Amino acid sequence: MPAQRIRIGTRESIAAQLTDQVASDARAAIAARGRCSLAIPGGSVAEVLVPRLASRDLPWERVHIFWCDERGVPLDDPASNAGTAMRRWAGTPLAQGARVHVMDGGAADLEAAARSYERALVEGAGDPPVLDLLVLGIGEDGHVASLFPGHPASAEARQWVVPVHDASKAPARRLTLTMPVLLGARHVILAAFGASKADVVRRSLEGPETPSPAAHLVRAAHHLTIMLDDAAARDVSPTPRGAGHE
C-alpha cells in the first residue's frame, strides 16, 4: 500500500491546512505546467473549503475547477454541489477568474451530460485526464464522489464520467468521476469532519479489506493526504498501516 500522510487537528486547524494545501498545489501546478486542474467535492468538505479558498490571491485565470460528482438536480436547487459552491464564492477572486466546469446534474439525459463532462475534463486536464489535485470527502457508508459500495459505477474502468441512476443515497440520480480519474490525480486529499465519520474513517484506514470505494482509494492512491478533525479521527490508532502522522 502506498504511504499516506495523515494530519489530525481541530476543525479550524484542519480547515486552514486544507485550504493552504490546495492553494500551494495550485501554485506549484501553474509554475510547472502553466495551469492547474482542481476537482472539489460537495458536502461538509466543500462547506469548509470553498469560502476559504475562494478569497485567496491566486492566478485564478489559470485554474480549471471541476466537481468530483453532482446530484441529479438543477443548478439552482439547494442540493446542487456546484450551485451551492457558486453561491458561496459569488463576488470573490475565484468567481471572477477561474475556469469553472459545471456538471449538468439537471439534464434529462445524464449519459449525454457525462460525455460532455468528459470533453471538459480533456480540455482542462489532458487526455487521459490527470488532475493536479482532487479533494474528496467520505460518506458514512464508505462512498467517495458518487461511487457507492457495491454499485457498478464504482468498478467502471473505461469511462471517466458516468451517470448513476440508482444511488443508495438520495437523490438517486447523479453524475460522478470514476475511480481511474480519482486514482490518476497527481495528489488526492481525503478529508473528513465530525464524529459521524469516525467509524468509516477507522474502517477505511485500518480495517480488513472491504469493498468500499473509500477503502480502495486509501490503498491504491499513490500520493494521498488524509486530513481529519479530532472528532473524525477519534477511533484512529496512533499509526495506521502504511501511514505517517504529521
Domain map (residue ranges) of the chain: 4-245
pTM over 0.85: yes
Report DSSP letters for the chain, one per residue. Answer: ---EEEEEE-HHHHHHHHHHHHHHHHHHHHHHHS-EEEEE--HHHHHHHHHHHHTS---GGGEEEEESEEESS-TTSTT-HHHHHHHHTTTSHHHHH-EE----TT-S-HHHHHHHHHHHHHHHHTTTT--SEEEE---TTS-BTTB-TT-GGGG--S-SEEEESS-SSSSS-EEEE-HHHHHHSS-EEEEE-SGGGHHHHHHHHHSS--S-HHHHHHHH-SSEEEEEETTTTTT--SS-TTEEE-
pLDDT of residue 237: 82
Read off the pLDDT band of 1 (50, 70, 90): very low
Read off the pLDDT band of 3 (50, 70, 90): low
CATH number 3.40.50.1360 given to 4-245: yes
pLDDT digits (tens, 9 = 90+) for 97-148: 999 999 999 999 999 999 999 999 999 999 999 999 999 999 999 999 999 9
pLDDT of residue 197: 96
pLDDT digits (tens, 9 = 90+) for 153-188: 999 999 999 999 999 999 999 999 999 999 999 999
pLDDT digits (tens, 9 = 90+) for 213-233: 999 999 999 999 999 999 999
Read off the pLDDT band of 208 (50, 70, 90): low
